[in-house]
Amino acid sequence: MISAQKSLKQQLLIWVLIPLFLVLMISTVVSYYRALHFANLAYDRSLFRAALALADQVDVLDKKVVVNLPQVARDLLVYDKDDLIYYRITAPDGTLVLGENNFTLPKRLPSAGNHLYYDFMLEDKPVRVVAFSLPIINAPIQGNILVQVAETRSKRETMVEEIVEEMIIPQLLILLLAAGLIFIGIKRGLQPLQKLQDAINQRSPRDLSELKANDAPREIQPLLKAMNNLMGRVRDTMKLQQQFIADASHQMRTPIAGLQTQAELALREKDPEAIHSTLEHVLSSSSRLSHLLSRLLSMASVDPAAGREPRLNPLNLIELATKVTSDFVSSARAKKIDLGLDIKTQDAKILGDDLMLREMLSNLIDNAINYTPEKGIITVTIEKNADKIQLSVIDNGIGIPQEERSQVFERFHRLQDNEGEGCGLGLAIVKEIVLAHNAEIEISDGLRANRGAGAGTMIKVTFK
């Protein structure tokens, strides 16, 4: 399933508004409890005044608690247009003197002369109650008379709602205004990205010049620098490809022209021996062209510009070297060359790309055969040195002069005055494969005792 594309503008707006919305929610909760606190504070005081007024009508006559409260006063006491009022007066011994009988006592009674507030359910209605403890003074009985007055919570809830509305509505309007201003700010802040998009869209596919990063915001500059680095690498890759194509076309033009010329000569010849000689030249040129094409294809397959990454897997370098070396035995015998394999370690396991490493060793052995005279010696050596595996191809051929050893890895570079049949790509292919495996390659003198030109060649690849 393809996920919906995310808008940076929407993401920024969401992640800015979510905290503001959470702050509004927290503010609403805090406002509600603060409003409830002040509503209770105001109406609790009113409820306590009603309890004091009721307590003023209480008296003790002949060891009996009486309440001098006319019916009119009782009606006024319980009248409220919004809430229901209940009251209860009990003697020190707990007997009901006046009022409702189904009041719930608080968990602890107030001390003499003090009062407390509590909540409970009366007739399935939540009520707020004040309990006042009236001490009996200068009377034949001792103790405290408990005066309780309760009312439902309608006025309190209405007051809380009004306070919360008055506090939240302005905050909500401020939040909406802030959202609008934030949206405008984000839109203006993202304008450099839009300009960057327009600049890229207007570019030619061939234009790989750097994007201007000086005017961009600081947060975008790392992205622009990364894009510029990428385009720089693409630019370098394209240059390499163009150079490779130009070099390949130049290298192929000569043998193709030679083939055409020799074929025309063969058509004009009448002498069978001359025709046979010309066809031998055609065959030789075809072989060189085939060799060149093979090298070009190999170079293209290992070139980083081709985008092929090495598939690194555990492999045994001894088995690989044995197989590749055996493939060149017939070629070596044709020149009476002694081709051998010298294994100096049994632990030659590395991480590598099997196809690439076969191509690398094939090029090294093929180069050695081409540049080693008849009855020469070529030895493929595998050894281990300080946890590093070293693969070497050593010969006693014409050797590589010291001043040219850094140039032989360049494409189409050939040694001066050499008699080999190479096309100048073998060692370039080897170098690309070595770099792909994060290995090292070096050239030194080979099997002959003398130094310099004619001292033979040793090419050593070290796998880390």
**Domain parsing of the chain, residue ranges:** 8-161, 221-302, 311-463
Q: Could you give the 3-state DSSP secondary structure of residue 359?
A: helix
Q: What percent of the chain is predicted at pLDDT more than 90?
A: 25
pLDDT exceeds 50 at position 450: no
User: In the block, which residue shows the tokens 């207007």?
Assistant: 202
Q: 311-463: what CATH class?
A: alpha beta
Contact 43, 128 (CB under 8 A): yes
Write out the H or E segment, with its range, that includes residue 319: helix 317-327
User: What pLDDT is attached to residue 196?
Assistant: 78
| pLDDT at 451 (0 to 100) | 45
Token reading at 204: 């030619």
Alpha-carbon distance values, 225 to 87, 204, 229 (Å) = 81, 20, 6
CA 61/CA 257 separation, integer angstroms: 142
The reported pTM is: 0.47
Q: Are 397 and 376 in contact (CB under 8 A)?
A: yes
Give the C-alpha distances (Å, rounded to integers) separating 423 from 41, 245, 298, 301, 363: 101, 15, 13, 17, 12
Average confidence (pLDDT) over 76-80 = 77
Please give the mean pLDDT across all residues of the chain: 82
Which residues, other chains included, contact 259 with Cβ-Cβ below 8 Å and sequence gap of 6+?
282, 285, 286, 289
Tokens of 225: 């620098």
Listed range (149-153, 222-226, 332-336) with the worst mean pLDDT: 222-226
Determine the pLDDT at residue 151: 93
132 vs 232 pLDDT, higher one:
132
pLDDT in tens, 169-225: 888 898 889 888 888 888 888 787 777 778 788 888 778 887 776 667 777 788 888
pLDDT of res. 220: 78
**298-318 residue pLDDT tens:** 656 656 555 556 788 899 999
Q: How confident is the model at residue 115 (pLDDT cuts 50, 70, 90)?
A: very high
CATH of domain 221-302: 1.10.287.130
3-state secondary structure of 361: helix
Give the pLDDT confidence score for residue 435 in this predicted structure. Answer: 87
Using one digit for the tens of pLDDT, what is the confidence trace for 368-409?
A: 898 888 889 999 999 998 889 999 999 988 888 887 877 777
Q: Give me 172's structure tokens.
A: 């909500």
Does residue 433 register a pLDDT over 70? yes
Torsion of CA 52, 55, 57, 58, to 10 degrees: -170
- The whole-number pLDDT of residue 245 equals 67
Which of 208-217, 255-264, 277-286, 333-342 is most confident?
333-342
Q: Report the CATH fold assignment for 8-161.
A: Beta-Lactamase (3.30.450)
